[in-house]
Amino acid sequence: MSATYFTEDHEWLRVEDGLATVGITDYAQEQLGDLVFVELPEIGRSLSKGDTAVVVESVKAASDVYAPVDGEITEANDALSSEPALVNSSPRDGGWLWKMRLSDKSQLEGLMDEAGYKAMIG
């Protein structure tokens, strides 16, 4: 059973069995424009909620992507090294950024569901 959560910083995370797959929302990739580079995170790195995990660069600007919860990075989406535009074409599937093992599942309670996120972006 997986559940998807959203942050005010336009990240999504799909949680299953204590592991979260994290990416940026469709809205975020539209605001950024075409991505040209993704700086992937280091496997094994521990993150606290709010830490910069990934830097994405588009034709417009570079933007930080923040850890939505505390945890340890278990995997990075290596496909983005050669094809950063996957984040634009498939932000919730092929364009995920990293996977992490959650340290504190109670942090999920402060995040939005999809309806709440859609209401926030209007």
Q: Is the pLDDT assigned to residue 1 strictly greater than 90?
A: no
Please give the pLDDT value at position 17: 95
The total number of structural domains that make up the chain: 1
What is residue 78's predicted lDDT score, i.e. its pLDDT?
97
pLDDT at 53: 97
> How many residues does this entry show for the chain?
122
Q: What is the pLDDT of residues 3-35, one digit of tens each?
A: 999 999 999 999 999 999 999 999 999 999 999
What is the per-residue pLDDT across 40-89, written as a single tens digit (0 to 9) for each?
999 999 999 999 999 999 999 999 999 999 999 999 999 999 999 999 99
What pLDDT, on a 0 to 100 scale, did the predictor assign at position 93? 95
CATH number at residue 74: 2.40.50.100
**What pLDDT does residue 113 have?**
97
Please give the C-alpha separations between residue 72 and each of 14, 41, 45, 69, 102, in angstroms, as whole numbers. Answer: 15, 10, 6, 10, 7
Examine residue 26 and state whether it is found in any structural domain, yes or no.
yes
What pLDDT does residue 87 have? 97
Q: What is the pLDDT of residues 85-111, one digit of tens each?
A: 999 999 999 999 999 999 999 999 999
Provide the residue range defining the domain that includes 88: 3-104
Residue 50 lies in a domain: yes
Any domain includes 14: yes
Establish if 59 belongs to a structural domain: yes
HSE on the CB side for 74, CA within 13 Å? 12
Q: Please tell me the distance from the alpha carbon of residue 114 to that of residue 7, in angstroms, as a whole number.
A: 10
9 within domain boundaries: yes
> Computed from CA positions of residues 2, 90, 97, 64, in that sequence, does the dihedral angle turn out positive or negative?
negative
Asked if the structure places residue 122 within a domain, the reply is no
Asked if the structure places residue 32 within a domain, the reply is yes
Is position 86 within any domain?
yes
